[in-house]
Amino acid sequence: MNNPIKSGHLRVSLLCAVAVGLAVASMVAVSGVATAASSPRAVKASHPLKKGLKVFVIPKNLGNAYFTTADSAKSGGAIAALNQLGEIGTETSGTAALPSAQIPAIAAAISKGANILLVSATDPVAVCPTLKGAMARGITVVTYDADAPTCRDLFAEQATSPLIGSVEVDIIAKELHDTGQIAVVSGAPTAPNQTAWIHYMKVELKKYPHLKLVSVVYGNDDTATSTTVTEGLLSRYPDLGGIISPTTIGLPAVAAVLDTAKYRGIIKLTGVGTPLAMKKYVLDGTCPEMILWNPANLGYLAAYAAVNFASGDITNAKGQSFIAGKLGKYTVGANGILLLGPPLVFTKSNIAQFHF
């Protein structure tokens, strides 16, 4: 790469162009990326898909708009896919995005006779003993949004971690003309997706020697906590130029703090957010650009993959393929990963087109 700064900006521009096309194409993707995973547990067969399977959809926490979209029948998420397939789908979890709240929900689902668990892991280590116990009973375990690589059969990944992390840095670099202090307002420090994205942010920052990451703080996917830590950053770093918040709860909380005459357009903001929650802030310039994917499609993909696996129609071996309903054909990538596709970049020009 001859000019890292220009190349980074070009990647963001290209992603913006891709966004509209992806919306039309319903974000269909058919590739995968590598991570550690459990060994294949099933033998490839060509069977009719099983009906009446008990499927428990267990997000990081209930009451989170992102997971409501990813999971619900109304939005076209995981429960919608399960309904189409003739399965029994139930969403359950704790109200806090913490292992201590999620693990009892997983254990309860197992005790209720689950055939499939769809889990967004709050902690890739803490949830593993419970998930491994489920797998030992023959329960299919599929993660989505946040992985637990050593204790699941498949992982439906929203976009690759390197791309999510690097694009966010490229956006903030563009807004700050490659110079200034930045901070990150993340979710929970144990969340595997957040940890990975921040790692790749730091890698991408090496391309911008005049951008300095001064702090990473955690709002624990709670609006009040995210607001408090953001206010702390503004107090502690009077020369702060920008904030990245790679969490759909944190980003609107940060935006609400910055949406004043004192900060709007002065402290730059980007991150991962849902269009409905962030539309106001994108349109008024508080957060000119942000990224996401279609969370309903992610849940839908995870559900189809899980039912195909539980029915013995695919394994988690690379190259196995299946039809994920309206999303079309998907192929299992390395280490049991199904990749939804690249992130969408939302701006004033396109955010009104999306309703999730």
Q: Where are the domains of the chain?
A: 18-159+294-353, 163-291
Altogether, the residues listed in the chain come to a count of: 356
Distance CA 242, CA 265 (A): 10
Could you write out the three-class secondary structure of the chain?
A: CCCHHHHHHHHHHHHHHHHHHHHHCCCCCCECCCCCCCCCCCCCCCCCCCCCCEEEEECCCCCCHHHHHHHCCCCCCHHHHHHHHCCEEEECCCCCCCHHHHHHHHHHHHHCCCCEEEECCCCCCCCHHHHHHHHHCCCEEEEECCCCCCCCCEEEECCCHHHHHHHHHHHHHHHCCCCEEEEEEECCCCCHHHHHHHHHHHHHHCCCCCEEEEEEEECCCCHHHHHHHHHHHHHHCCCEEEEEECCCCHHHHHHHHHCCCCCCCCCEEEEECCHHHHHHHHHCCCCCCEEECCHHHHHHHHHHHHHHHHCCCCCCCCCCEEECHHHCEEECCHHHEEECCCCEEECCCCHHHCCC
Report d(CA 309, CA 5) in Å as an integer.
43
What pLDDT tens digit does each residue of the chain (356 aa) get? 334 333 444 343 434 433 333 333 333 333 333 233 344 444 444 568 999 999 999 999 999 989 999 999 999 999 999 999 999 999 999 999 999 999 999 999 999 999 999 999 999 999 999 999 999 999 999 999 999 999 999 999 999 999 999 999 999 999 999 999 999 999 999 999 999 999 999 999 999 999 999 999 999 999 999 999 999 999 999 999 999 999 999 999 999 999 999 999 999 999 999 999 999 999 999 999 999 999 999 999 999 999 999 999 999 999 999 999 999 999 999 999 999 988 989 999 999 988 88
Confirm or reject CATH 3.40.50.2300 for domain 18-159+294-353, answering yes or no. yes
| pLDDT at site 355 | 84
Give the tokens for residue 209.
């020697």
pLDDT of residue 52: 98
Return d(Cα 66, Cα 47) in angstroms, integer: 34
* Sign of the four-CA dihedral 312, 316, 318, 322: positive
pLDDT tens-digit series, residues 107-166? 999 999 999 999 999 999 999 999 999 999 999 999 999 999 999 999 999 999 999 999
pLDDT of residue 5: 35
pLDDT at 16: 41
pLDDT for 40 equals 47
Amino acid, res. 281: Y
Dig out the tokens for 270 from the structure.
């980007």
Q: Is the pTM of this model over 0.85?
A: no
Say what the pLDDT of residue 46 is. 56
Q: Each residue of 235-273: pLDDT tens digit?
A: 999 999 999 999 999 999 999 999 999 999 999 999 999
When computed from its CA atoms, the radius of gyration of the chain, rounded to whole angstroms, is 20
Count CA within 13 A, CB hemisphere, residue 59: 24
Instruction: Name the packing angle between helices 99-111 and 128-136 (round to 10°).
Output: 10
Q: How far from 90 is each of 59, 73, 226, 334, 342, CA to CA, in Å?
A: 11, 10, 29, 29, 29
Angle in degrees, CA 333, 338, 344, rounded to 5: 120
Report which residue type is found at 87: E
Same fold, 18-159+294-353 and 163-291: yes
Would you tell me which CATH number, out of the four given (1.10.150.120, 2.40.30.10, 3.40.50.2300, 3.40.710.10), belongs to the domain 163-291? 3.40.50.2300
- Does residue 242 contact residue 172 with C-beta atoms inside 8 Å? yes
Six-digit token string for 289 = 């650009």
